[in-house]
Structure 1
C-alpha cells in the first residue's frame, strides 16, 4: 500500500526546527571573529553557545508546562516571532552582554517552539503515521547540526558574523508566515493546576525515557564531537577526510531519522527504540574494533561512520512516540520538552566526558566509552509494551491524574480529538 503524501504544513514545521536548532550551532564557526569584534576572549565568546544550550535545556519543561493550555499554533507563532526579534537584536548587538541577553532570549523562545512543533506533528498525524511525522520534523534538527557550523563559518568569513543572525531571523520570519497559512489549529490542554501540568516530572515512565535519551545523547554525541580525532587515529587526519565524513554523517543521519519514524509506525515506538539503541551500541563497538585493528582503511572508516550515523540520528522519533504514550495528550508538550532537556544536557556531558577520555586514555577510547553509555541506555529502555508499562504515578487532591495503567490515546478508552484544517 502506497503511503499518503505528507502535508505541506509538516515541512513548515521542519523549517521551523531547522531555524531554531541552527541558531545554537551557527555562531560556533565564527567565535574568533565575534571575540575580536566585541573585544572579549574566544572562551568568553564560547559561552554564547553554552548559555543558549543551558537555558534551552532548563527552560523547556518549565515554560512548556506554563503554556500547555494554549493552542499550539498560537504558541509556535508567538514564540517564533519573539525568536526572530531576539536574532535581530543579536545582529545589531553593540556589545558582548547585549548579545548574551539576545542569545538567552532566543533560547527561551526556541525551547517553547520546539516542544510545540513536536506536539503538533504528533497530534496532526493520521492513525499509524505518528512516527513518520515525527521523523520529518526531527530531520530539521538533524540538518541543523550539520549545516550550522559550516554555514556560520562561510557567512562570517564572507559577510561578517552579524550576517549569521540576520539569516536565522529571515528563515524564522519565513517560517512564521508558513505557520500562519498552513499549520492546523491544535487545541491546547484543558485548564489545570500547575501541579497537574507538571505531572511528567513525577511520571516514572516519562523520566525513565528521558534518562534513556540523556545516556544515548551522551554516548552518541561524544563520538560525534571527537569524530576528527577518531578519524585521525584510524586513517590519519586531513581536512578533506573530515569534511567528507561530516557530509556522510549528515546524509545518513537524515536517512536514519526518516527511516526510524516509519519503523516506529510499523513496529511500535518502544520496539523500534530498543532496535535503534542496540544498533547504535553495535556500531560504536565496530568503531572501537576498527581503531584497535590497525586496518587504517578509509573505506572501512566511512562504512563504520555511516552505519553509526544511521542509528545515532534515529533516536528521536521512537523515543518521542514512547514519551507521548507515557504522558498522555494532556501533558504531552511538557513531556516532550523534558525529553529535549535530556537531549541537550546529554550533549553538554558528551563534550566534557569525551575530553576527559581523550586526556586520560586517548582518542582511540572515545568510541569504547560511548559504547558503554549506549549499552546503559539500551538496558534502561523499557522492554514491555507501552500498554503494559505506563502507569502515571501522580495524583491531585481529587484523585488520579493521567491515564489508567494500560490505557493510551486511541485504544478505545478515550477519544482523540480531530485536528481541524488551517484557518
Structure 2
C-alpha cells in the first residue's frame, strides 16, 4: 500500500512546499518585481480563493474521470504552472500562474485522497489518507525552509523551478507506478451538485472551517509572538517551526490510526479540548513563565498543536467518506475548500486582533474559536455510521489488485 501511495504523498509534498513557502519569499518577490510587500501578499489571497472556489467545481466537473488520469493531468498542469511562475515577467503573470497552481493543486489533492480511499480496504482507509497527507507535514518541516534558503541564495524564481522539477518526478512516478483503481459508479450531476446542501455534509465541513480558523488565527502570527513577546531570534523561530512540523508529522499518523480504530466524535472532542487549553495558555506564558521557561512553554504549545491539530484532517476526511463513498472526490474537494476558507478567515481575524490589541491576544481568540468548534461538534446530531471507526465499515469500493 505505502509503496504505491508514496507518489501521492510526494505530490502532496510538492504542493505543500509551493503553497507554504510563498510567505517566506514575498520580500524577494516584491523587490524583484518592484511592488510593495503588501501588494505581493495578494498572491497568497489569490491562491487561497482560487483553491477554495475552484476545487469543488472541478471535482464536480471531473467526477466521472478515472482517478489516475485526473492525477496525471493535474500534476502535469501543476508542473507547467510552476515553470510559468519561475519565468513570470510581472505581478499579473505571476498572479495568473498562482491561480493555475491553485486550481491544479485543488484538483490533485482531492483526487489523491479519493484514489487512496479506493485503493485500500475500509479498515486501512484512515492510515492511507494520513500517509498521503504526510507530504504536507513534511513540506512544513523540510520544503518551506529549503525553499526559503534557495530563494536567499539563488533568487525566488529558483524555488518555483525546484518545485517544477519535483512535480515532474511525481508525474513520472504516477504514470509508471500507479495502477488504475476501480471505484463505485459515478453519481449523476444532480447528486454531485446537491451534496453541498446536505446537512450531514455541512456539519462536517462547517467544523473544518471553524477549527482551521482558530488554529491559523494563532499560527499565522506565532513567529511575531515568539519574536516580540518571548524575544526569540529569527533562527530560534525557525527551530520552533521545525519542532511544530515534526509534531505535525506525528499527529498526522495519530489521526490516521484514530480514524481507523477510535470513535471519531470522541477523538475530535479530545483534539479540540487540547487546542483550547494550548491556545489559551499562550497569553499567560510571559507572566507565569519568564525567560527560558517561556520558551519551553511555547515549545510545548506548538508540539501539542502539531500533534493534535494535524490529527484532525484525516479523521474529518474519513467522516466525509462515510457519508457517501460514491461522492468521494466532491466531498474531499469541499473539505479542502473548507480548510482554505478557515485558514483565510483565521489569518484575517488574527490580523485585526493584532492591530487593535496585541499579538498575545491571538491566543485568546484561537482558544475561543476552538471552544466554538467544540460546541458545534457536540451540538450536531450523533450519526453512528459517520462516527464509527473506519475498520467497522462494510466495504463499498473495490480494492486495486496492486494496492498492496
Q: Secondary structure at the match of 2:123?
A: coil
Runs of 4 or more consecutive aligned structure 1 residues displaced over 6 Å after TM superposition: none
Alignment length, in residue pairs? 399
Indicate how the Cα distance of structure 1 residues 233 and 198 shifts in structure 2: closer, same or farther if over 3 A, else same. Answer: same
* Residue among 42, 49, 53 paired with 2:48: 53
Indicate how the Cα distance of structure 1 residues 87 and 107 shifts in structure 2: closer, same or farther if over 3 A, else same. Answer: same
* Alignment partner, residue 214 of structure 1: 209
* Alignment partner, residue 142 of structure 1: 137
* Alignment partner, residue 307 of structure 1: 304
The residue correspondences of 1:263-278 to structure 2 (distance < 5 A) are: 263-278=258-273
Give deviations 1:339-390, integer Å, cap 9, x for gaps: 1111111111121111111222212221111011111112212576543669
* Alignment partner, residue 361 of structure 1: 357
Alignment check: 8 A CA contact 1:68 1:334 kept: yes
Q: Secondary structure at the match of 1:68?
A: coil
Shift in Å, 1:11: 1.4
Alignment check: 8 A CA contact 1:86 1:106 kept: yes
CA distance in 1, matches of 2:385, 2:247: 34
* Alignment partner, residue 351 of structure 1: 347
Bigger shift: residues 174-183 or 265-274: 265-274
The reply on whether 1:42 has 2:42 as its aligned counterpart is no
Bigger shift: residues 238-247 or 294-303: 294-303
The residue correspondences of 1:28-39 to structure 2 (distance < 5 A) are: 28-39=23-34
CA distance in 2, matches of 1:130, 1:44: 42
Q: TM-score, normalised by structure 1?
A: 0.87
* Alignment partner, residue 397 of structure 2: 416
* Residue among 280, 283, 286 paired with 2:278: 283
* Alignment partner, residue 333 of structure 1: 329
- In structure 2, the gaps of 5 or more residues are none
CA distance in 1, matches of 2:266, 2:4: 28
* Residue among 320, 325, 335 paired with 2:317: 320
Indicate how the Cα distance of structure 1 residues 271 and 120 shifts in structure 2: closer, same or farther if over 3 A, else same. Answer: farther
Shift in Å, 1:234: 5.2
CA distance in 2, matches of 1:74, 1:141: 22
Greater share of residues in helix: 2
Give deviations 1:8-33, integer Å, cap 9, x for gaps: 11211110111112222223222232
Shift in Å, 1:260: 1.6
The reply on whether 1:88 has 2:50 as its aligned counterpart is no
Alignment check: 8 A CA contact 2:123 2:260 kept: yes
Indicate how the Cα distance of structure 1 residues 203 and 239 shifts in structure 2: closer, same or farther if over 3 A, else same. Answer: same
Q: TM-score, normalised by structure 2?
A: 0.91
Indicate how the Cα distance of structure 1 residues 385 and 13 shifts in structure 2: closer, same or farther if over 3 A, else same. Answer: farther
Alignment check: 8 A CA contact 1:61 1:341 kept: yes
* Alignment partner, residue 403 of structure 1: none
Q: Secondary structure at the match of 1:129?
A: helix
* Alignment partner, residue 367 of structure 2: 371
Shift in Å, 1:130: 1.4
RMSD: 2.4
